Amino acid sequence: SHDVLKDFLERERKAVTMYSLYEYNQAGHMKVLKEEAYSDGVINEKHRVIESMLRKGRTPEEIEDLCGYSIDEVIDIKNSIKQD
């Protein structure tokens, strides 16, 4: 009777292993989702700042100098605004 847990785990080894892997992967997946959401927020804020500065008449070069964003990023956003 002392080996009930041992017997159960031996019988259900595959299910226990799969459950453990699922739990591990779920935690990893949630971490990735959180990091992606943070990254998306940073990108959206950067886009908003660049767009606002462009609408206020700043040149891409000024935005690059003031904010440290790459000139390519600024020009890409400027071009996307023109298409709207």
Q: For residue range 4-38, list pLDDT tens digits in order.
A: 888 888 888 888 888 777 777 777 888 988 999 99
Average pLDDT, the chain: 88
The per-residue DSSP string of the chain comes to -TTHHHHHHHHTHHHHHHHHHHHHHHHHHHHHHHHHHHHHHHHHHHHHHHHHHHHTT--HHHHHHHH---HHHHHHHHHHHHH-
Confidence bin at 82 (pLDDT 50/70/90): confident
